[in-house]
A and B are shown apart, each in its own frame.
Chain A
Amino acid sequence: AQKITQTQPGMFVQEKEAVTLDCTYDTSDPSYGLFWYKQPSSGEMIFLIYQGSYDQQNATEGRYSLNFQKARKSANLVISASQLGDSAMYFCATNSGYSTLTFGKGTMLLVSP
């Protein structure tokens, strides 16, 4: 079974600053994926970034990067140059086998002007 732990229920950051959202995972599968999703107040789930367990380099997508430390089983999301529109709930998730996604409980990010 897989498990995702997000230890930060809420985070505050000022506009234009960088912020790191923590995620640790536990899985016994040798091949797995790590995902981050954003859920704004409107409720939809928006895919942000993906990291494969065998990927040598950390994934990046625009202002999002995933700090993947396999030995520590961590997959932290880094958002550079925060914007007001980044205020949302962020979920870390993992999959393995038949693509069953296991989610963490989420981190609420608030970006202030």
Chain B
Amino acid sequence: NAGVTQTPKFQVLKTGQSMTLQCAQDMNHEYMSWYRQDPGMGLRLIHYSVGAGITDQGEVPNGYNVSRSTTEDFPLRLLSAAPSQTSVYFCASSRSSTLPNTEAFFGQGTRLTVV
């Protein structure tokens, strides 16, 4: 019963490097999303997807790229890492994108530090 799996759990990047945060869910959920959590800011939406092949921007999309080629996977790409992207990243999925009662299941988070 894996749920939402994020890898890696920890990562240190140098400014300018690129990387991909992986997210996979095994619940056949339509909806997947990426959030970042910064101290005192709560969780803010980066990008989301309502199904394979469909993605859209959230509140803080700059510097990030996503794609959704399968229902299960929703990777988040940092194109050129900046210190401002130091954060904890959460991937979440939920079973429907059109009903109010759509509890989101979260991955364990990725703690990213950009130096």
Contacts and interface: CB of A to CB of B under 8 A. Distances in A.
Given A50-B101, A99-B94, A101-B33, A43 B109 contact: yes
Interface string A27-55: 00001110101000001110100101100
Interface stretch (B16-24, B40-48, B62-70, B76-84): B40-48
For B100, B103, B105, the residue with the greatest tally of chain A CB atoms inside 10 Å of its CB is B100
B42 A98 contact: no
Given A101-B43, A102-B45, A47 B104 contact: yes
A100 B106 contact: no
Q: Secondary structure at chain B's binding surface: helix, strand, loop or mixed?
A: strand
Contacts of A104: 42
B101 A52 contact: yes
Interface residues of A, number: 26
Given A44-B108, A45-B90, A105-B41, A100 B103 contact: no
Interface of A: 4, 31-33, 35, 37, 43-45, 47, 50, 52-53, 91, 93, 95-96, 98-106
Interface of B: 31, 33, 35, 40-45, 48, 50, 56, 58, 88, 90, 92, 94, 96-106, 108-109, 111
Given A47-B105, A99-B97, A100-B58, 17 more contacts: A33-B101, A33-B102, A37-B106, A44-B109, A45-B106, A52-B101, A91-B42, A95-B100, A96-B100, A98-B31, A99-B31, A99-B48, A99-B94, A99-B102, A101-B43, A104-B42, A105-B42
